[in-house]
Structure 1
Amino acid sequence: MTTLNPENHETDASAQRLSFPRLHARTQRFSLGTPRAFTVAPDGSRVVFVRSASGTDRANQLWVLDLAADGSPVERVAADPRALLGGSAEQLSAAERARRERSREGGAGVVGYATDAAVELAAFALSGRLFAAELRAGTARELPVPGPVIDPRPSPDGRHIAYVAEGALRVTGADGGPDRALAEPEGAGAGTVTYGLAEFIAAEEMQRSRGFWWSPESDRLLVARVDDTPVRRWWIADPAHPERQPEQVAYPAAGTPNADVRLFVIGLDGARTEVVWDRERYPYLARVHWSASGAPLLLVQARDQRSALYLAVDPDAGTTRMVHADEDEDWLELFPGVPCWSPSGQLVRIADEGGARVLAVGERPLTGPQLHVRAVLDVTDDSVLISASAGEAATDPALGEVHVYRVNELGVERVSQEPGVHSAVRAGDVTVLVSATLDHYGSRVRVLRDGKQLATVVSHAQQPGLTPRVTLTEGGARRIPCAVLLPTGYDPSTGTRLPVLLDPYGGPHAQRVLSARNVFLTSQWFADQGFAVVVADGRGTPGRSPAWEKAVKGDLTRTLDDQVEALHALAERFPLDLDRVAIRGWSFGGYLSAMAVLRRPDVFHAAVAGAPVTDLRLYDTHYQERYLGDPATSPEAYRTSSLVADEGLVDPAEPHRPLLVIHGLADDNVVVAHALRLSSALLAAGRPHEVLPLSGVTHMTPQEQVAENLLLLQVDFLKRSLGL
């Protein structure tokens, strides 16, 4: 339950007096108050976004920035959740809480919205109720429909709003017209079958959070039907409340059955046609695209993710035809924004070709090895807007930078100029450029028309009260991207060597060495406790090259090798005391931290492992099988990479190093069984360790007091363990 109460908001001055750990927790890592989720009207008249009122306010409002041609840009509130709910507490259904956990959404209020094609109508859910905002008029109203409402989306023409409630896809008139179900869970499937929602692994691993898509003509929808009957059931209990029933979770662990996912074309009259493809060979529905530029487009993957098909759908017959096929001996990555059609009907995709990650339109690559393409942001007749980092062939690669580029057959033009991490949203001649840099807190938002700045969107994010003292560099023969942070006020002329704290994520899908200030706030706070903090992005992390990312195939322990290599290389240039080295991390970083003290106690002297994956057979199919294969056919890969093997821990005779394992008991992503199995193996091997269970805490650790005290407890443990 979230109480939307403005009386709880602190002024910037009072918030600034709080300690960094409390402020870090209260501001949700200094993200509250930041404008985000931008949508640009195709006529360039307005920009829609969400933002909360202050850096400690969780309740997002829906905003409109009017870009009138004859006047100055004006911001106005289009929907205020406090007014719409009458100040009452926000209630979330279990399904909505699960959706937010998958997307790592910690905010409240209007956390997501969708618009019609003209960006005149927005739909969103509050407390499981459906609301619509008329963006030109600036008014918002509730539409009385059955709930709890999930993921409402207007039709392109703005006449209807489709949404999911109790596993059924429903549609209602945007003017408050009749509401009806288009697809409902069948008979015995109630509770296991849903229409219009993404299954667990699509939302958690494929970054596909949607389960239905409107046709451009607004007369029918593509709707995913998910049946999780085949998926094994796990039970998540809260031992602190034995009176409560355990929660049942359908979790597809590596090597076990996935949910059955089908796709239907469903008309507003209820007519239904199943979309047919070889689901036996290509069970993963990874991407769906439906625009006026071509037939509905699907990207489907084989279970081993080494092959994929791009399929065009005949929405009348439900048949599909292959547009393109991809294969890779390791795996095929998924990317934001693709596949899609260009306005001229050409296939737009991102591909690993010739050792580089390139943008391809039709059969022609439009970028080369100088760029490592990361996402497609927009496609028009005359250009494709992409985000990319420097490729392996770049003559002057900028470490940790991500830029926005405009690409067409004539060449590549960089849109973002200052060093940093940039992204953008574009429609027509208006581009919203979002930039994070090392010389500025948070992100800055500029609205451009034909490249010229029209306006800025103000951020209300809290000032952290500390400035990272960071050096971006490379370490070792592999030129591992690294960041080194020293304590504020440290004088290198004293020659004093500092105890070291490695602070990595270190695994796939998360880059930590970025040219952005807020990325290093927590690392600097740890540095100010007396450590030299090292952040290293070894093999497997994104942003460099396909070969770099795929070097961990079959053996995730290579990520630890790179942490060691970076540490030793940096010790030749920075005041690092290699006799006092600790490591901390969460999720994959927790796995890496535990592995460090268990496999390399000669290098690491203490570790904090938060929510670590320890038995890799317990993690989900789409993620784990991508890197290690099927545990039935690749058991050795799982034994090598897991911290707990069937016969126990690796190298039981090695020195024992202090290890603190932290885990939320309500975590449904990395379940607490990982921590418990590791603890049992450590106990059996006679290895001292500490376990901190967090009652009611998920993988996100959203609770303010928990998040604050976790930082303080980690510092205390690390200082004790290193004798500081």
Structure 2
Amino acid sequence: MTSQQISFPRQHARTMRFTLGAPRSFTVSPDGERVIFLRSGSGTDRSGRLWVLDLPKDGSPQERVVADPEALLGGSAERLSAQERARRERSREGSSGIVDYAVDAAAELAAFALSGKVYVAELRAGTARALPVPGPVIDPRPSPDGRHIAYVSKGALRVVGAEGDGDRALAEPEAEDVSYGLAEFIAAEEMQRSRGFWWSPESDRLLVARVDNSPVRRWWIADPAHPDRRPAEVAYPAAGTPNAEVRLFVLGLDGTRTEVVWDRARHPYLAQVHWSSDGAPLLLVQSRDQRSHLFLAVDTETGSTRTVHADEDPVWLEIFPGVPAWTPDGRLVRIADEGGARVLAVGDRLLTGAQLQLRAVLDIGESDILVAAMAGEEAAEPEIGETHVYRVNELGVERVSEGAGVHSAVRAGAVTVLVSHSPERPGARAEVFRDGKPVATVASRAEEPVLSARVHFTEGGARRIPCAVLLPEGYKESDGPLPVLMDPYGGPHGRRVVAAHNPHLTSQWFANQGFAVVVADGRGTPGRSPGWEKAVKNNMVLTVDDQVEALHALADRFPLDLGKVAIRGWSFGGYLAALAVTRRPDVFHAAVVGAPVTDQRLYDTHYTERYLGDPAEQPEVYAHNSVITDEGLSEAADQVRPMMIVHGLADDNVVVAHSLRLSSALLSAGRPHEVLPLSGVTHMTPQEQVAENLLLLQVDFLKRSLGLDG
């Protein structure tokens, strides 16, 4: 238990937002005898270990460590290659040690990378060892039969025997900008595809992505705090510029090589790949404008493809975890936008309706499909911020998870691991069920927060915008109205109004500094309906309108002082905060602007073009949605609002040029502001002192700017 003397900002930073010590990355063995997972040793230990929970049919469940980085490295420091650091940045992985692993089909052999080497772990025996292969190594994965390990090293896709024998390259890069087996930048950052190779079910061949980055324009990320170091060269596909060229090959262990053919000019994006024993390999490919999807089946002998299904949408089409895939009887499983809802489609049938908004397919069984979904707009009762697990088949829909919260699951056969976050308790509870009956709980070693989030979930305005409101601990009605801090993300891919405890801890800490904190998920945020998300097409500025609507609607029910309203945010939230004080200074009186996308032309192709189109074809759309254009800064120029701009100088996702251009535009317009550059910090802020002091500096700025110093 953490000493009560520690401050919340320090504890929040030291525990990496209370994620350290919590079990994660679960896998269930097909025989139901083991649950494999990652967990560090304590709530302040960053080094992940590989664990197994044994589930004997007639005995007590037992946890055991099968791979400990400290023992495997002999106490020496972990070394990461530049490619591995970039891979972790794409997945927002800030911990160390074992951060990822893959298993064979029986979940008896695991492979993982540690300090640039390949390690394998015998999960039954509980032993782990390094394999003598050339490094640095990225993404090792066992073949389904457990006899081989495929991995990437220096851009080559290599294979080695599970005993360390017969190491060889199946594909080597033909040029400096070419790699085999890795996901390109936008696949990892935007498409939820972190992989670049996939084993066949028979373990005799692989599908391997070949990425050629030579068409992509180069940017340079400098470290001004160390002028003796060369800037890092980054292939960054900004909106309207060329993408990497991605091709796909079938590589046999016998040395055969066959290219997979589809119309890459029409559908250049390789969004998802699925290969199981239930059918031919499946590809999901997208057009560049993301209005067209093809689901393709691959003939692995010839490389030809046939269209299994095609989707078109006048706005855009989403990518979802777990699909496309086959059912055991060979029907296509996908998530589709139909009738204003996000539904589960199996073959030619829609198995869910408007009552649910599908988020992911979790598992496909013999008789049902396990999904994660939110209640739809036509649900009997609103479930603000909740996500539940459901079993779906032709007979109907059954909810598996119980109680308000955010739930997810991993399943194999009769065993399910249900992970549940609740608004009432910190952290998550990971319960193991066999045939629907609880048999074990996976222990969490995460720290208990030194404060508790007291969240009021509600809806605001005519649009019924989902909101969370937090007041200071001990607040009484006689204390009167409070200065307001809007604390949104407020845009695509990110919900902040979630029925869980820990995501609201920072907001509660700000509330305890004397604010009424409001979190509002307006149009563009995911989960409510396709129309809600797609409302931001060509007009992300309307996200400010929803923050204003929520604020004014809640003022009738909560003690909000509308004469003192600030807003803070990071990434899209930083962009939204900058828009708020420049477009609506009549409402917002100060802003903390963290890592904002201020010039949309500087953000990546897949994300930006989905919402704003091609900048060459729609320059006026980009100008309207920019913070730094004349349009963005000219409105209400007589009302100047304080702005603190915060940005990591090492950020290769939202590069610091966004904040520097904003600062230049504000200076040119005669608008005072503060800039806080974070040396050596990326889009994440994992450094303990940096993360802690960022919170303290924000509070100081907000109180000064709103006249609350006393």
AA aligned to 1:107 is S
- The 1:436/1:648 distance shift into structure 2, 3 A limit, reads closer
The alignment status of 1:661 with 2:645, answered yes or no, reads yes
TM-score (norm 2): 0.99
Counterpart-to-counterpart distance in 1, 2:479 and 2:485:
18
AA aligned to 1:615 is D
The alignment status of 1:554 with 2:538, answered yes or no, reads yes
Q: What secondary structure, in the 3-state scheme, does the structure 2 residue paired with 1:474 have?
A: strand
AA aligned to 1:34 is A
> Which residue does the alignment assign to 1:19?
7
The alignment status of 1:714 with 2:702, answered yes or no, reads no
> Which residue does the alignment assign to 1:271?
256
Q: After superposition, give the CA deviation of every residue in 1:217-258 in whole Å (9 maximum; x if it has no partner).
A: 000000000000000000010111110000000000000000
TM-score (norm 1): 0.97
> Which residue does the alignment assign to 1:405?
390
Unaligned 5+ segments in structure 1 are 1-11
Deviation at 1:17, TM superposition (A): 2.8
> Which residue does the alignment assign to 1:533?
517
Counterpart-to-counterpart distance in 2, 1:270 and 1:589:
49
> Which residue does the alignment assign to 1:7?
none
> Which residue does the alignment assign to 2:44?
56
- Asked if structure 2 preserves the Cα contact closer than 8 Å seen for 1:652 and 1:685, the reply is no
Kindly report which structure 2 residues correspond to 1:264-413, keeping only aligned pairs within 5 A, or say none.
Answer: 264-413=249-398
Deviation at 1:113, TM superposition (A): 0.1
AA aligned to 1:571 is A
Q: After superposition, give the CA deviation of every residue in 1:198-221 in whole Å (9 maximum; x if it has no partner).
A: 000000000100000000000000
The alignment status of 1:219 with 2:210, answered yes or no, reads no
The alignment status of 1:569 with 2:553, answered yes or no, reads yes
> Which residue does the alignment assign to 2:500?
516
Counterpart-to-counterpart distance in 1, 2:409 and 2:599:
39
Counterpart-to-counterpart distance in 1, 2:50 and 2:208:
27
Deviation at 1:177, TM superposition (A): 1.0
Identical-pair percentage:
76
Deviation at 1:543, TM superposition (A): 1.2
Q: What secondary structure, in the 3-state scheme, does the structure 1 residue paired with 2:537 have?
A: coil
Match of 2:423 among 438, 442, 448: 438
Match of 1:200 among 185, 189, 197: 185
- Asked if structure 2 preserves the Cα contact closer than 8 Å seen for 1:495 and 1:575, the reply is no
Q: After superposition, give the CA deviation of every residue in 1:417-441 in whole Å (9 maximum; x if it has no partner).
A: 1110000000000000000001111
Deviation at 1:606, TM superposition (A): 0.3
The alignment status of 1:606 with 2:590, answered yes or no, reads yes
Q: What secondary structure, in the 3-state scheme, does the structure 2 residue paired with 1:377 have?
A: strand
> Which residue does the alignment assign to 2:624?
640
> Which residue does the alignment assign to 2:222?
237
AA aligned to 2:29 is A
> Which residue does the alignment assign to 1:620?
604
> Which residue does the alignment assign to 2:23?
35
> Which residue does the alignment assign to 1:9?
none
Q: What secondary structure, in the 3-state scheme, does the structure 1 residue paired with 2:306 have?
A: strand
Deviation at 1:652, TM superposition (A): 6.2
Deviation at 1:178, TM superposition (A): 1.4
Unaligned 5+ segments in structure 2 are none
Q: What secondary structure, in the 3-state scheme, does the structure 1 residue paired with 2:337 have?
A: strand
Deviation at 1:18, TM superposition (A): 1.5
- Asked if structure 1 preserves the Cα contact closer than 8 Å seen for 2:2 and 2:448, the reply is no
Counterpart-to-counterpart distance in 2, 1:293 and 1:451:
26
- Asked if structure 1 preserves the Cα contact closer than 8 Å seen for 2:430 and 2:443, the reply is yes
The alignment status of 1:166 with 2:154, answered yes or no, reads yes
Q: What secondary structure, in the 3-state scheme, does the structure 2 residue paired with 1:649 have?
A: helix
The alignment status of 1:485 with 2:466, answered yes or no, reads no
AA aligned to 2:571 is S
Match of 1:79 among 67, 70, 94: 67
Counterpart-to-counterpart distance in 2, 1:93 and 1:351:
39
Match of 1:104 among 92, 112, 116: 92
Counterpart-to-counterpart distance in 2, 1:663 and 1:175:
46
Counterpart-to-counterpart distance in 1, 2:205 and 2:632:
55
- Asked if structure 1 preserves the Cα contact closer than 8 Å seen for 2:648 and 2:681, the reply is yes
Deviation at 1:70, TM superposition (A): 1.4
Deviation at 1:654, TM superposition (A): 3.3
- Asked if structure 2 preserves the Cα contact closer than 8 Å seen for 1:66 and 1:73, the reply is yes
Q: After superposition, give the CA deviation of every residue in 1:163-206 in whole Å (9 maximum; x if it has no partner).
A: 000000000000111100000001xx12x100000000000000
> Which residue does the alignment assign to 1:651?
635
- The 1:505/1:25 distance shift into structure 2, 3 A limit, reads same
Deviation at 1:390, TM superposition (A): 0.3
The alignment status of 1:121 with 2:109, answered yes or no, reads yes
- Aligned Cα RMSD in Å? 0.8
- Asked if structure 1 preserves the Cα contact closer than 8 Å seen for 2:583 and 2:632, the reply is no
AA aligned to 1:717 is F
> Which residue does the alignment assign to 1:156?
144
Deviation at 1:272, TM superposition (A): 0.5
- Asked if structure 1 preserves the Cα contact closer than 8 Å seen for 2:2 and 2:447, the reply is no
Deviation at 1:647, TM superposition (A): 7.2
Match of 2:171 among 162, 183, 190: 183
- 4+ residue segments displaced more than 3 Å: none
Counterpart-to-counterpart distance in 2, 1:652 and 1:636:
20
Counterpart-to-counterpart distance in 2, 1:215 and 1:430:
25
Deviation at 1:675, TM superposition (A): 0.3
Counterpart-to-counterpart distance in 2, 1:270 and 1:650:
63
Deviation at 1:495, TM superposition (A): 5.3
The alignment status of 1:476 with 2:476, answered yes or no, reads no
- The 1:260/1:646 distance shift into structure 2, 3 A limit, reads farther
Counterpart-to-counterpart distance in 2, 1:511 and 1:647:
28
